[in-house]
Chains A and B, each alone.
Chain A
Amino acid sequence: MNTVWKSLLTGTALVAAASTQAAELEVTHWWTSGGEAAAVAEFADAFNGQTEHTWVDGAIAGSGGTARPIIISRIIGGDPMGATQLNHGRQAEELIEAGLLTDLTDVAEAQNWREVINPPSLLDACTYEGRIYCAPVNIHSAQWIWLSHGAFDAAGLEVPSDWNEFVAAAPTLMENGIVPLAMGQQGWQQNLAFGTITIAVAGIDAWREVSVNRNAEVAAGPEYTAVFEAVADARELARDSNVQDWNLATNMVITGQAGAQIMGDWAQGEFQIAGQVAGEDYTCLPGLGLNEIIDTGGDAFYFPVVEDAEVQAAQLELAELLVSPEVQVSFNLAKGSLPVRGDIDLSTANDCMQKGLEILAAGNVLPSGDMNLSADTQTQIEDLMAEFWSSDLPAAEAQARYVDIIASAD
């Protein structure tokens, strides 16, 4: 906790020191890993170079779970930063209701965001009662499984092309001393795997009924029974994986200790840093190879309401810059995520990104869970998944509790 306070105090001191003509804009975010920091530097360079304002970097170490409360309590507590990263969706809804976030509608209309941002659901997530409150910067999707060619070669197997083949291949992997599924023992990763398996096994219609319409009957139905049984299978496959962080689990796949990992497309950065090539050293399957659908979660920047007129001007300029084509290309190539604009050229992107772009172009997208269920409901589901994955809780009981959560969701 001490370091958190220290960084908060330093951040405050930085804001207090900003009193020059061109504004210094403090931007908070939680992009601190190698690839992420390189991507943020693209923003900072563009902002410093193309405007007269200065980017003051307010990186908060730790994942979104650590950074988000700090960011939100600073906004609520009357010490707002100039701009901040948040995942778009319902996280900021109440801040908008309380009038704490800047309305970006004018910038959005001038820059024609409504036309260029693809898929449109990204902008919808930023829209509250017809006004736009955030600038989406990238698209991340969670529905990927990453397969290690090294592990399957060692076991003398073909690399599977979907989840069912993978489950069938698992016993052979185990005989060769390879953990079939790498899984970090943290609630959000287990929840992510659950979500991915849901879309692959139950299909999009059942998923939509439950996650968007909160239909508890469907959650209790046969589609979801199949989901919970598949997760129980996956739990057995991940039994010998006792790492915590997601990147350590990814590392098991990179080194061939594990056959596969279910993880979002940010895992790609790890493969890149390890010098592995998509299609040769590893394979990625969107939607577990069963249902090629990806969600369109991602990051967006919000701009808290501030009094200083210069900072206000700087906020609007930054909002415009973040969505501009050049910045979108340089940022997303560094980050390994997909751009929010459909009208730019990303031919230099690798195999896996191309797959993502194709799915995006075909329109096979679903809104991210962030946009459908409240943080409260998601935390409850995450708690349930954390318990389910690391205990012997029967699938039927887990499903019954899941139904309860969906029935009381708001």
Chain B
Amino acid sequence: MTTTSQDDARAARRPIRLFRNPMAKIASIPMILTALVVFVGGTAWTVVYSFTDSRLLPRLNFVGLDQYERLWSTRRWLISIENLAIYGICSLILTLLIGFTLAAMLDRKIRGEAVFRSIFLYPFALSFVVTGLAWQWILNPDFGLQEVVRRMGWEGFTFDPLNNPDIVMFGLLIAGLWQGTGLIMCIMLAGLRGIDEDIWKAAKVDGIGTVKTYVRIIIPMMRPVFITALVLIASGIIKLYDLVVAQTNGGPGIASEVPAKYVINYMFRAQNLGQGFAASTMMLVSVIIILVPWAYLEFGGKKRD
């Protein structure tokens, strides 16, 4: 590929930047178009229509911020945001923590590493719908975990998160962690394997303990790996939908509703596109609010170095 593109560049009399590497550019046209039309275009369209009173079909009858006013005075939306925050923070911290701990443990050259790795990664092969249903059954008070423990003799044992509005989000969190940590563990493990053996030897010579070596030396060196993991976890949190639908369907009551579910419900079941668009625009805005300062720090800072 490099030779042909160099030939092409030489063949043109005045190499214009736009026409350099023409084959590569032609090949990427479909993706560029998809990105522009589907992502940028679709986003712009959604934002514009969120200011209209579209019901079942989109129509351009602008009503200003009415949809947003209604959205932020809706109890269900506020609960959804709150739930996503609880789930997001817990899931982010615990996934990283458990994922890294498991990876570090596997990296200690234990016996049967491949077996453990497969076991931990297995849940990731399941869809969220299957995960949700399986955990709905496991957490069912009448024949799941609670009943099993009770039959083992602890009569008073109570663990029924899915029917308790106060802790239902943690029932979802357990299923989410069960599914998600395996992948993060694998990424972390790859990162740990990328660390030079000599660093460990040097640390040992200097008499630094294992835990301290991890915290002070290894983790800072794994920064790119952590960022990859972070992006994967964060996108999983924002689009949290199918797990909730399969496991609790937003219940009990509206205690485990999430924003994505609000969007789908209002767009299709309530046949109120405007309200659904307003909610999805708010989801986009919240992502941007988190992403922009981070991107600024990450990429803006490098130029100054």
> Which residues from chain A sit less than 8 Å from chain B, CB to CB?
1-2, 65, 68-69, 72-73, 76, 91, 93-95, 98, 185-187, 242, 244, 374-376, 378-380, 383-384, 386-391, 401, 408
Q: Is B242 part of the binding interface, using a Cβ–Cβ cutoff of 8 Å?
A: yes
Residues of A within 8 A of B270 (CB): 375-376, 378-380
Q: Is B161 part of the binding interface, using a Cβ–Cβ cutoff of 8 Å?
A: no
Q: What are 5 contact pairs spanning A and B, CB under 8 A?
A: A186-B249, A187-B253, A380-B74, A387-B253, A389-B253
Residues of A within 8 A of B141 (CB): 242
Cβ-defined contact, A72 with B56, below 8 A: yes
The complex places the Cα of A245 from the Cα of B249 at a distance, in Å, of 11
A interface footprint on B254-282 (CB within 8 Å = 1, 0 otherwise): 11000000000110111110010000000
Cβ-defined contact, A69 with B268, below 8 A: yes
A interface footprint on B50-84 (CB within 8 Å = 1, 0 otherwise): 00000111000000000000100011100000000
The complex places the Cα of A72 from the Cα of B273 at a distance, in Å, of 13
| Known contacts A1-B242, A242-B163, A376-B271; A386/B57 CB under 8 A | no
Residues of B within 8 A of A94 (CB): 55-57, 271
Which of A73, A91, A387, A390 meets B76, CB within 8 Å? A387
The complex places the Cα of A401 from the Cα of B249 at a distance, in Å, of 23
Q: How far is the CB of A392 from chain B (nearest CB, A)?
A: 9
Q: Is the interface of A mostly helix, strand, loop or mixed?
A: helix
Q: How far is the CB of B41 from chain A (nearest CB, A)?
A: 18
Residues of A within 8 A of B265 (CB): 379
| Known contacts A1-B242, A186-B249; A376/B55 CB under 8 A | yes
Q: Is B251 part of the binding interface, using a Cβ–Cβ cutoff of 8 Å?
A: yes
| Known contacts A387-B75, A390-B165; A376/B253 CB under 8 A | no
Cβ-defined contact, B251 with A244, below 8 A: yes
Residues of B within 8 A of A244 (CB): 249, 251
The complex places the Cα of A380 from the Cα of B76 at a distance, in Å, of 9
Cβ-defined contact, A185 with B252, below 8 A: yes
| Known contacts A242-B141, A375-B269, A379-B270; A391/B251 CB under 8 A | no
Q: Is B127 part of the binding interface, using a Cβ–Cβ cutoff of 8 Å?
A: yes
The complex places the Cα of A244 from the Cα of B246 at a distance, in Å, of 12
Q: Closest residue to B241 on the A side, CB-wise?
A: A1
Residues of A within 8 A of B75 (CB): 383-384, 387, 401
Cβ-defined contact, A390 with B252, below 8 A: yes
Q: Closest residue to A243 on the B side, CB-wise?
A: B142
Q: Closest residue to B252 on the A side, CB-wise?
A: A390
Q: How far is the CB of B267 from chain A (nearest CB, A)?
A: 8
| Known contacts A242-B141, A390-B165, A401-B75; A65/B253 CB under 8 A | no
Cβ-defined contact, A374 with B271, below 8 A: yes
Q: How far is the CB of B271 from chain A (nearest CB, A)?
A: 4
Q: How far is the CB of B301 from chain A (nearest CB, A)?
A: 40
Cβ-defined contact, B271 with A186, below 8 A: no
Q: Closest residue to A70 on the B side, CB-wise?
A: B268
Q: Closest residue to B272 on the A side, CB-wise?
A: A376
